[in-house]
């Protein structure tokens, strides 16, 4: 019970509906800080719906999401980005907008903040793109720039909806250790994943959504299932990547 | 030669009304183009037009109440413009209609109402004056008003600049960051109304939007950076407003259309010869790969 009070994000008997249709029922959970929680399930199982509820964009029909993280320290990278790529902004400027929680709308950026931004870009391997407009980036480069913004934001809770979709393998290899480092720094990460390989490399905890219910699995159990019964895994991992899983 | 330059560029400013008009034009040229740049970037280019019509009934009511008094007409315009912006926002929230659809409905109603009000209370000269503006009517009070409004717009824009940029780029991010994110859009619409109200004296309600949009759309052909877009748009607006006034003076043509047409020429030239996305740039790009092969 004492551990429970430590976690920053809890789901209590959560019921969620989208457009009048119930998507999820009786979802319970305690999302551990400093760990990467993978969210898996077939297309339409309610992964994005659950993320919306956690971000406070969707009100549960019953139950509750208890999140003690300040709203400004929650970061969400949805699959369908609202990002306007025609807007004339460079990678560095995008990363710098992540300093909103500390700087707000008015405070000027000081040299130390620019240095921090440059360090983050170096970590992500995008220093050479600092002055490149967003519209000229590849999917992987854009994803790294957005992760750069969350690092700048010093987010305590990061929700990633399929961060590796349309992203090159080099970016995946850069991002996975960064996500791991973020978790080691005490951040709470929830990642929607489809790919078995990514799941194996990232997940500490697995929440599987299936048939409107949530089920917590140990990643090892998932591996076990993967070997033991071939029928569960394609169903779990679902849709597009069923073949590769 | 010098005499000709003097006659064309300096002599007109011996007249007080020309001096006031050019200062007013320059003040507007500082405030309007940045707003236009943001409108273009947000894909809301036509909203400026809609708002320009929306202020008309307010201007007309001011005219009916107090005659041709710029401050009162301006207050009327600002109030009515804000009212229409609010109503359009409310209707789009309520009915799920997009904001531009609601805006389009309201602006045409406003235009009809405004023309009706002015026709009832005044002559066709007054109507022409409100619709198309006149530099002759800029007195010191009007100039002070234009300059104050322009200053206010530039200051407020500087304050909301970062929020506006972030909202344009990624509204979802701003919503996560700030509970007051909805304000940014409202304040921006408010600035738009203020600017159009300041502009209608020189350019008329229908054309005030031109000094906002044309320099902004032209600048897109010259720069890919936000600062560049804003800077170029301001310079273009200054050239157009000063040049337009001079043309209007020498050729005895109406000031509003001269200014806007000059800005229009700037737009066409930019579309033909600009650095990016222009016809010339497209031709240049076509030849490069061939040369490489």
Interchain proximity B162–A106, CB inside 8 Å: yes
Interchain proximity B177–A101, CB inside 8 Å: yes
**pLDDT higher than 50, residue B219:** yes
Which chain B positions have a beta carbon within 8 Å of A83's beta carbon? 169-170
Share of chain B above pLDDT 70, in %: 95
pLDDT of the residue at A242: 38
Give chain A as a 3 state SS string. CHHHHHCCEEEEEEEEEECCEEEEEEEEEEECCCCEEEEEECCCCCHHHHHHHHCCCCCCCEEEEEECCCHHHEEEECCCCCCCCCCCCEHHHHHHHCCHHHHCCCCCCCHHHHHHHHHHHHHCCCHHHCCCEHHHCCHHHHHHHHHHHHHHHCCCEEEEECCCCCCCHHHHHHHHHHHHHHHHCCCEEEEECCCHHHHHHHCCEEEEEECCEEEEECHHHHHHHHHHCCCHHHHHHCHHHHCCC
* CB of A109 less than 8 A from some CB of B: no
pLDDT of the residue at A225: 53
Secondary element (H or E) of residue B33 = helix B16-41
Mean pLDDT value across residues A118-142: 92
Q: CB-based contacts of A112: which residues, under 8 Å, 6+ apart?
A: none
* CB of A100 less than 8 A from some CB of B: yes
Query: Dihedral of the CA atoms A72, A75, A79, A84 (nearest 10)?
Result: 50
Across chain B, mean pLDDT equals: 86
Query: Dihedral of the CA atoms B173, B175, B181, B184 (nearest 10)?
Result: 40
Give A99-154 as a 3 state SS string. CHHHHCCCCCCCHHHHHHHHHHHHHCCCHHHCCCEHHHCCHHHHHHHHHHHHHHHC
**pLDDT higher than 70, residue A230:** no
Task: Report the candidate in A143, A245, A159 with the shortest Cα–Cα distance to residue A198.
Answer: A245
Q: Which range (A59-68, A229-238, B112-121, B280-289) has the least confidence?
A: A229-238
pLDDT of the residue at A243: 37
Q: The domain A1-69+156-245: what is its CATH number?
A: 3.40.50.300
**pLDDT confidence tier of residue A23, bands split at 50, 70 and 90:** confident
pLDDT of the residue at A237: 42
Give the domain ranges of chain B: 2-282
Say which residue the tokens 């500082």 belong to: B30
Q: Which range (A93-97, A102-106, B187-191, B240-244) has the least confidence?
A: A102-106
Which chain A positions have a beta carbon within 8 Å of B229's beta carbon? 88
* More confident site: B227 or B203: B227
Residue in chain A closest to B160 (alpha carbons) equals A105
Interchain proximity B170–A81, CB inside 8 Å: yes
Q: Give the ipTM of the model, two decimals please.
A: 0.80
pLDDT of the residue at B100: 73
Start and end residues for every CATH 3.40.50.300 domain found in chain A:
1-69+156-245
- Among A58, A89, A105, pick the best mutation site for testing chain B contact (most B Cβ within 10 A): A105
- Which of A73-82, A228-237, B16-25, B171-180 has the highest average model confidence (pLDDT)? B16-25
Interchain proximity B176–A72, CB inside 8 Å: yes
pLDDT tens, residue by residue, B144-158: 989 999 999 999 999
Q: CB-based contacts of B67: which residues, under 8 Å, 6+ apart?
A: none
Residue A62 pairs in a beta bridge with: A15
**pLDDT higher than 50, residue B171:** yes
State the sign of the Cα–Cα–Cα–Cα dihedral B117, B121, B124, B126.
Answer: negative
Interchain proximity A106–B225, CB inside 8 Å: no
Chain A, chain B: beta-carbon pairs less than 8 Å apart: 63
What count of residues does chain B have?
Answer: 293
> Distance from B110 to chain A by nearest Cα, in Å?
32
Interchain proximity A88–B226, CB inside 8 Å: yes
> How far apart (Å, rounded) are the C-alpha atoms in residues B192 and B212?
9
**pLDDT confidence tier of residue B51, bands split at 50, 70 and 90:** confident
**pLDDT confidence tier of residue A239, bands split at 50, 70 and 90:** very low
Task: Report the candidate in B241, B249, B276, B269 with the shortest Cα–Cα distance to residue B22.
Answer: B241
Q: Which range (A3-17, A200-214, B109-123, B207-221) has the least confidence?
A: A3-17
* CB of A149 less than 8 A from some CB of B: yes
Interchain proximity A106–B159, CB inside 8 Å: yes
A69: phi > 0 → left, psi -120 to 50 → alpha, else beta; which? Answer: beta
pLDDT tens, residue by residue, B248-282: 999 988 888 899 999 999 999 999 999 998 898 88
Structure tokens at A89: 């902004």
Residue A5 pairs in a beta bridge with: none
* CB of A85 less than 8 A from some CB of B: no
> How far apart (Å, rounded) are the C-alpha atoms in residues A63 and A70?
20
Indicate the SS3 state at residue B45.
helix
What count of residues does chain A have?
Answer: 245
Residue A208 pairs in a beta bridge with: A40, A215
Mean pLDDT value across residues B188-217: 88
Residue in chain B closest to A70 (alpha carbons) equals B177
Of B42, B165, B224, the CB nearest to A133: B224
Angle between helices B45-54 and B99-121 (to 10 degrees): 30
Residue A32's alpha-carbon distances to A1, A37, A151, A182, B143, in angstroms, are 13, 8, 19, 13, 63
Any idea which fold B2-282 has?
ABC transporter involved in vitamin B12 uptake, BtuC (1.10.3470)
Mean pLDDT value across residues A68-88: 83
By the 10 Å C-beta count (0-12 exposed, 13-18 middle, 19+ buried), A220 is classed as exposed
> Distance from B187 to chain A by nearest Cα, in Å?
14
Task: Report the candidate in A67, A72, A74 with the shortest Cα–Cα distance to residue A29.
Answer: A67
| Exposure b/e, A89-101, CB count within 10 A at least 16 = b | bbbbbbbbbbbbb
**pLDDT higher than 50, residue A236:** no
**pLDDT higher than 90, residue A73:** no
pLDDT of the residue at A122: 94
| Exposure b/e, B62-83, CB count within 10 A at least 16 = b | bbeeeeeebebbbbbbbbbbbb
DSSP B68: S
pLDDT of the residue at B128: 77
**pLDDT higher than 90, residue B89:** no
pLDDT of the residue at B289: 58
> How far apart (Å, rounded) are the C-alpha atoms in residues B241 and A195?
60
pTM: 0.84
pLDDT of the residue at A224: 54
């Amino acid at each position: 019970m004492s551990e429970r009070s430590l976690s920053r994000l809890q789901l209590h008997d959560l019921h969620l509906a989208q457009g009048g249709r119930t998507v999820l029922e009786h979802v319970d959970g305690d999302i551990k800080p400093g760990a990467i929680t993978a969210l898996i399930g077939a297309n339409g199982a309610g992964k994005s719906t659950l993320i919306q509820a956690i971000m406070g964009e969707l009100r549960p029909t019953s139950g509750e999401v208890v999140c003690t993280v300040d709203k400004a320290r929650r970061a969400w990278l949805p699959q369908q980005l609202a990002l306007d790529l025609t807007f004339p902004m460079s990678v560095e400027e995008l990363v710098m907008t992540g300093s909103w929680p500390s700087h707000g709308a008015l405070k000027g950026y000081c040299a130390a903040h620019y240095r921090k931004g440059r360090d983050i870009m170096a970590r992500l391997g995008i220093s050479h793109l600092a002055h490149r407009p967003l519209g000229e980036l590849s999917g992987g480069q854009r994803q790294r720039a957005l992760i750069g913004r969350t690092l700048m934001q010093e987010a305590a809770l990061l929700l990633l909806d399929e961060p590796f979709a349309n992203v090159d393998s080099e970016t995946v290899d850069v991002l996975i250790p960064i996500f791991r480092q973020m978790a080691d720094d005490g951040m709470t990460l929830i990642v929607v994943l489809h790919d078995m390989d990514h799941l194996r490399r990232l997940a500490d905890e697995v929440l599987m959504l299936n048939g409107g219910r949530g089920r917590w699995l140990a990643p090892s159990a998932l591996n076990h299932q993967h070997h033991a019964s071939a029928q569960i895994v394609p169903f779990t991992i679902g849709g597009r990547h069923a073949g590769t899983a | 030669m010098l005499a000709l330059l003097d006659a064309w560029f300096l002599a007109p400013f011996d007249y007080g009304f020309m001096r006031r008009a050019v200062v007013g034009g320059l003040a507007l040229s500082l405030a309007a183009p940045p707003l236009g740049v943001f409108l273009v970037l947000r894909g809301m280019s036509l909203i400026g037009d809609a708002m320009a019509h929306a202020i008309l009934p307010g201007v007309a009511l001011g005219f009916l109440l107090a005659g041709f008094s710029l401050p009162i007409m301006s207050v009327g315009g600002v109030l009515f413009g804000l009212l229409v912006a609010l109503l359009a926002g409310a209707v789009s929230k309520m009915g799920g209609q997009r904001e531009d659809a609601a805006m389009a409905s309201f602006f045409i109603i406003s235009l009809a109402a405004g023309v009706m009000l002015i026709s009832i209370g005044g002559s066709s000269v007054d109507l022409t004056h409100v619709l198309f503006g006149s530099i002759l009517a800029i007195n010191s009070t009007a100039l002070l008003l234009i300059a104050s409004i322009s200053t206010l717009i530039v200051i407020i824009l500087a304050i909301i600049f970062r929020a506006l940029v972030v909202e344009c780029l990624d509204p979802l991010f701003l919503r996560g960051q700030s509970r007051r994110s909805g304000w940014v859009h409202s304040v921006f619409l408010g600035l738009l109304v203020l600017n159009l109200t300041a502009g209608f004296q020189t350019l008329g309600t229908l054309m005030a939007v031109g000094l906002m949009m044309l320099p902004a759309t032209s600048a897109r052909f010259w720069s890919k950076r936000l600062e560049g877009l804003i800077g170029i748009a301001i310079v273009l607006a200054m050239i157009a407003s000063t040049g337009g006034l001079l043309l209007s003076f020498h050729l005895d043509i109406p000031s509003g259309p001269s200014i806007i047409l000059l800005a229009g020429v700037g737009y066409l030239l930019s579309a033909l010869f600009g650095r990016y996305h222009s016809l010339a740039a497209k031709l240049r790009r076509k030849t490069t790969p061939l040369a490489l092969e």
